[in-house]
Amino acid sequence: MDSALVIFEGANLTRLLGGLLVSLRIAFLAVLFSLVGGVLFGILMNSKNTVVKVLCRVFLESVRIIPQLVWLFIFYFEMTKVFHIHIDAEVASIIVFSLWGTAEMGDLVRGAISSLPQHQRESGFALGLTKIQLYHYVILPQAVRRLLPPAINLVTRMIKTTSLVVLIGVIEVLKIGQQVIEISIFSAPNAAFWVYGFIFFLYFIVCWPVSLMAKWLENYWASKGV
């Protein structure tokens, strides 16, 4: 039981929370870029132009097929070697997660848009709406409602996957957890259980509100009959 107290020893708690902040900073920025990028990419994916379509497909599949870890290595280590550009590990993480999020989000947006009935589009055009107005007032507001459950799923996945950035040397919550465990390996041999448990709890209190908010929004929209 004493091992549990390791979390509160010295500066451990502040350090763990500081690590969480790093994880969240990466996740938050990446999610933000992904939401904006994903909407644009999703609209682009619905283009009728074959060249645009093929390019989008190539981007999506290459992001999907290659594991995020490999992308992290490419951006952090290989960029430096090949182009002599040094990217800060945290920045590299944000770039990689944004690219991944944009691709996945884009595919969700594409699906949500193309699942809307064609006559929604046509009745918008029949009112004289331009394409941009059509997306702004008719297509996107409806797509967002269909998009919400899978998008929230993606966001929580992105938050959790940030733990990979340890491997390019970003000191985030998981890394600090490991450090805490290593330091106290003799004084508190069972610390690992409690520290990882605490980290689990931290991830949970970050992701849970996101899910709650999604549920609330879904109910709210359902009450509006959409």
Partner 1 sequence: MVSDKVLLEVKHLQKSFGDKTIFKDLSLTVRQGEVIVLVGPSGCGKSTFLRCLNGLEDYEHGEVFLDGKAIPGEQKSWYQVRQKIGMVFQSYDLFPHMTVLDNILLGPLKVQKRTKEEVLQQAQNLLERVGLWDRRNDYPSQLSGGQKQRIAIVRALCMNPEIMLFDEVTASLDPEMVREVLDVMLELAKAGMTMIIVTHEMNFAKAVADRVIFLDDGGIVEENTAEQFFTTPKTERAKKFLDIFNFKE
Contact between 141 and partner 1 by CB under 8 A: the answer reads yes
CB of 224 to partner 1, least distance (A): 6
Q: What is the dihedral of CA 225, 221, 98, 107, to 10 degrees?
A: -20
CA distance 52 to 64: 18
Q: Which stretch binds partner 1 (CB under 8 A): 22-30, 94-102, 130-138, 157-165?
A: 130-138
- Cβ(19)–Cβ(174) below 8 Å: yes
Which is nearer to partner 1, 5 or 127 (by Cβ)? Answer: 127
Chain position carrying tokens 């459950």? 149
Q: Which stretch binds partner 1 (CB under 8 A): 33-41, 133-141, 152-160, 200-208?
A: 133-141
CB of 225 to partner 1, least distance (A): 3
- Chain positions 79 to 98 lying near partner 1, rule: CB under 8 A, are none
Tokens of 25: 């900073």
Contact between 217 and partner 1 by CB under 8 A: the answer reads no
CB of 111 to partner 1, least distance (A): 18
**Which DSSP string corresponds to 28-41?**
HHHHHHHHHHHHHH
| Burial 182-211, CB ≥16 within 10 A → b, else e | eebeeebeebbebbeebbeebbeebbeeee
CB of 120 to partner 1, least distance (A): 7
- Cβ(93)–Cβ(31) below 8 Å: no
Binding mask 100-129 toward partner 1 (x if CB under 8 A, else -) reads -----------------x-xx-xxxxxxxx
Chain position carrying tokens 């908010």? 213
Contact between 146 and partner 1 by CB under 8 A: the answer reads no
- Cβ(13)–Cβ(7) below 8 Å: yes
Which is nearer to partner 1, 85 or 225 (by Cβ)? Answer: 225
Q: Which residues bind partner 1 (CB under 8 A)?
A: 117, 119-120, 122-130, 133, 137-138, 141-142, 145, 221, 224-226
